[in-house]
A and B are shown apart, each in its own frame.
Chain A
Amino acid sequence: MEEQYIKAVERALALPRRKRREVLDDLREIFASAREHGEPEAAVLERLGPPEDFASGVEEQLGVDRSRLFRRRLVLAGAAAALAAAAWGLLAWIGARRLPEGVIGQADAMTAIQVRGGLDPAWILAGLGTAAILAAAWLTVRAVRRR
């Protein structure tokens, strides 16, 4: 029940990561101290009240503005989406300009020279673009869920 309660507070709490971690550690201490004093877990849970209330009490005292936090998270998601668009756009542009395979120095005929090795920048861009799309999606979901 203790872990469940702490998890529920974690889900409800709209705080920066470090502060959230501190609140959760304190909750663990609350349960541990009560155990140390021989108080049953049920009594602690009853005193703590619903996890959502505990979370909102902390937010209220720390002056957390949920709508501002939501907007900030959406802006972050937007920035990730823009990065994804830029990466894929650049990739498409490079693709359009790319010379046919096997052509060196724009010669008409095939040459025997082959260029090998090195990481293709296109792959890096594709990876970046994919990561940015995933990040944008994750940030949006998180922003909406924590609203």
Chain B
Amino acid sequence: MRQFKKGSLEMILLCLIAQGETYGYELLTRLNSGGASVLGYAREGTVYPILYRLQDAGLIRCRMAPSAANGGAKKYYALTERGRETLGELIAFWRAYARCVEDFIGEVPGEETAAWKSSI
């Protein structure tokens, strides 16, 4: 279950960054307000390493901007063109994957697709 969540976190982060330039703390807050109950409470120790890897893979880029509040600088993340393409592929795969798993679940006696859907 944990590995499963970790795998999807990468895609969720890309989704959040795709909505517009954002910074670390905001990503964490949005993750926790949106999916903490299912995904578990997001921590910097999980999110930042993934951001480093996405950056290394050329899917996101970052720029430093001065931060008025803390006197230092904030790192803002944005998707690269490659990141946008990859996210499109991931979303297409995710949908096909979910449909496929859903079909299998529907074949389990007593488990109906509708019931599974309503529980999500």
Residues of A within 8 A of B (CB): 19, 23, 25-26, 28-30, 32-37, 47-49, 53-54, 57-58, 60-62
Q: Is the CB of B52 within 8 A of A62?
A: yes
Partner of B72, one of A28, A34, A62: A28
From A30, A33, A48, A60, name the one whose CB has the most chain B CB atoms within 10 angstroms.
A33
Beta-carbon nearest neighbor of A19 in chain B: B52
Contact with A23, one of B23, B43, B52, B53 (Cβ below 8 angstroms)? B52
Residues on A with beta carbons closer than 8 Å to the beta carbon of B109: none
Chain B positions within 8 Å of A48 at CB level: 43-45
Instruction: Tell which of B25, B49, B67 touches A57, judged by Cβ atoms closer than 8 Å.
Output: B49
Of all A-B residue pairs in the complex, the 4 with the closest CB atoms, nearest first, are: A33-B25, A61-B49, A32-B70, A36-B69
* Majority SS at the chain A contact face: helix
CA distance A62 to B25 in the complex (A): 21
Give the distance to chain A from B28, nearest Cβ to Cβ, in Å: 9
Q: Contact: B24 with A30, CB < 8 Å?
A: yes
- Apart from A36-B70, A60-B49: 5 A-B pairs, beta carbons within 8 A: A33-B25, A34-B25, A48-B44, A53-B45, A61-B52
Report yes or no: B53 in contact with A30, Cβ–Cβ below 8 A. Answer: no
Is B75 engaged at the interface, CB distance under 8 Å to the other chain?
Answer: yes
A33-B44 Cα distance, complex, nearest whole Å: 12
Scan residues 47-96 of chain B and give those whose CB is less than 8 A from a CB of chain A. 48-50, 52-53, 56, 67, 69-70, 72-75
Interface residue tally on B, bucketed by range: 20 to 34
Contact A62 B69 (CB under 8 A): no
Partner of A62, one of B29, B49, B70, B73: B49
B72 in contact with A32 (CB, 8 Å): yes
Provide the bound-state CA to CA distance between A85 and B75, in Å: 47
Cβ of A34: which chain B residues have Cβ within 8 Å of it?
Answer: 25
**Distance A29 CA – B23 CA, assembled complex (angstroms):** 10
